[in-house]
């Protein structure tokens, strides 16, 4: 407690005391977070490492996150020299900005299709750098930004589908994007093994990016059951095709190239046709199925469920789902997801 006359002084003292606990050297140079290079188009957002393309007729947005290219910093000196241009920091800032832009400005685009593009080996090399230097202040803060950005996906009131196609790089850190999705589809190319898309688990998927439940997304996926987690851990660093990933429970479906287009199309059309309000609640149930804490109570229960779902026009309006149930009529929905 502090009297009003000395409140500002006490706040300053408290802030300095907390700052003194940091292991960041007093003479360390901070990173200037320069403005993002972002191009806003009528139906797209474009950044250096992230692209979002909107299909308004289908109410979907296709996200593509690109892997790092070229030589990447592997030691602290080169990481500090790269600053805001260091790939994981730059990508996380761009992805976070895109998520916030889409959540705020595109409320009727209810289904996000998540893709990646690039070299999985480059992503795994980046993961090795993050793990090797995770206790350095700049790397630690970058990992924290990535963790918070992935959590923004978890609490977004949008349907999330991962599409693992040829040329994808869902490996390590970027595999978190697929693990955050409500459904994931991985393509099989039985006649073209060289182009068959694979996913790769790394140690980062077990340790660096816990959800609001404090679990890893793998832990959430398998209810922290050691048998299944150990089976996945045994495959760390191995490229897993669709059959192997499906057998481990890492993807929802593994259609081949004959069925891919129709199966993915039907799944998307099915999800897009459903009540946005009900989807927000049902998807939150699946995303936050682990230990409860104050964060999950707010984002997984309070904002996603409570009574508002059953009081809105999508449920009880003249053409709401509950009003027309059993009448042979089609419900009319407000597609706003917020």
pLDDT of residue 27: 80
In this structure, of 210-224, 282-296, 297-311, the range with the lowest mean pLDDT score is 297-311
Which DSSP symbol is given to 155? T
Per-residue pLDDT reduced to its tens digit, 255-280: 999 999 999 999 999 999 999 999 99
What are the boundaries of each domain within the chain? 35-273, 275-338
pLDDT of residue 168: 98
pLDDT of residue 2: 84
Helix/strand/coil percent split, the chain, to 5: 45, 15, 40
- For the CA atoms of the chain, what is the radius of gyration? 22
pLDDT of residue 210: 97
Structure tokens of 321?
Answer: 């789902």
Residue 65 parent element (H or E): strand 60-66
- What Å distances lie between residue 85 and 35, 52, 93, 143, CA to CA? 11, 20, 10, 15
Give the CB-side neighbour count of residue 92, counting CA atoms within 13 A.
Answer: 22
* Predicted confidence (pLDDT) at residue 223 exceeds the cutoff of 80: yes
Distance CA 82, CA 68 (A): 13
Whether the pTM exceeds 0.85: the reply is yes
pLDDT of residue 94: 99
Per-residue pLDDT reduced to its tens digit, 167-184: 999 999 999 999 999 999
pLDDT of residue 1: 80
CATH of domain 35-273: 3.90.226.10
Looking only at the bridges linking them, the beta strands covering 44-46 and 183-186 are unpaired
**Does residue 213 contact residue 288 with C-beta atoms inside 8 Å?**
yes
Q: What is the mean pLDDT of residues 321-330?
A: 90
Looking only at the bridges linking them, the beta strands covering 60-66 and 111-117 are parallel
Helices (H) and strands (E) in the chain, counts: 16, 9
pLDDT of residue 226: 96
Report the first-to-last Cα separation within the chain, whole angstroms.
Answer: 39
pLDDT of residue 304: 78
Say which residues have a Cβ less than 8 Å from residue 218's Cβ, sequence separation at least 6.
Answer: 179, 201, 205, 206, 229, 232
**Does residue 185 contact residue 267 with C-beta atoms inside 8 Å?**
yes
């Amino acid at each position: 407690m502090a009297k009003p006359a000395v409140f500002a002084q006490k706040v300053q003292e408290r802030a300095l005391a907390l700052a003194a606990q940091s292991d960041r050297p007093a003479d360390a140079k901070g990173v200037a977070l320069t403005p993002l290079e972002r191009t806003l188009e009528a139906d797209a957002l474009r950044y250096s490492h992230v692209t979002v393309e909107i299909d308004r007729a289908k109410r979907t947005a296709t996200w593509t996150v690109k892997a790092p290219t070229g030589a990447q910093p592997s030691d602290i000196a080169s990481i500090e020299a790269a600053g805001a241009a260091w790939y994981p920091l730059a990508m996380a800032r761009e992805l976070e900005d895109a998520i916030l832009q889409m959540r705020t400005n595109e409320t009727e685009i209810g289904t996000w299709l998540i893709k990646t593009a690039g070299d999985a080996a480059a992503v795994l090399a980046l993961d090795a750098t993050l793990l090797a230097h995770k206790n350095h202040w700049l790397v630690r803060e970058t990992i924290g930004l990535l963790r918070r950005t992935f959590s923004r996906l978890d609490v977004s009131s949008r349907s999330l589908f991962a599409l693992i196609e040829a040329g994808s790089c869902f490996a390590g850190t970027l595999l978190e994007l697929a693990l955050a999705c409500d459904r994931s589809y991985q393509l099989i190319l039985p006649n073209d093994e060289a182009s068959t898309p694979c996913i790769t688990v790394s140690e980062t998927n077990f340790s660096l990016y816990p959800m609001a439940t404090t679990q890893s997304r793998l832990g959430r996926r398998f209810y922290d059951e050691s048998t299944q987690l150990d089976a996945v851990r045994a495959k760390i660093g191995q490229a897993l095709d669709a059959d192997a990933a499906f057998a481990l429970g890492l993807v929802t479906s593994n259609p081949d190239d004959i069925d891919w287009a129709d199966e993915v199309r039907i799944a998307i059309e099915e999800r897009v046709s459903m009540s946005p309000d009900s989807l927000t609640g049902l998807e939150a149930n699946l995303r936050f199925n682990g230990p409860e804490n104050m964060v999950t109570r707010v984002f997984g229960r309070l904002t996603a469920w409570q009574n508002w779902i059953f009081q809105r026009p999508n449920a009880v309006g003249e053409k709401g789902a509950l009003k027309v149930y059993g009448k042979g009529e089609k419900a009319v929905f407000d597609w706003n997801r917020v």
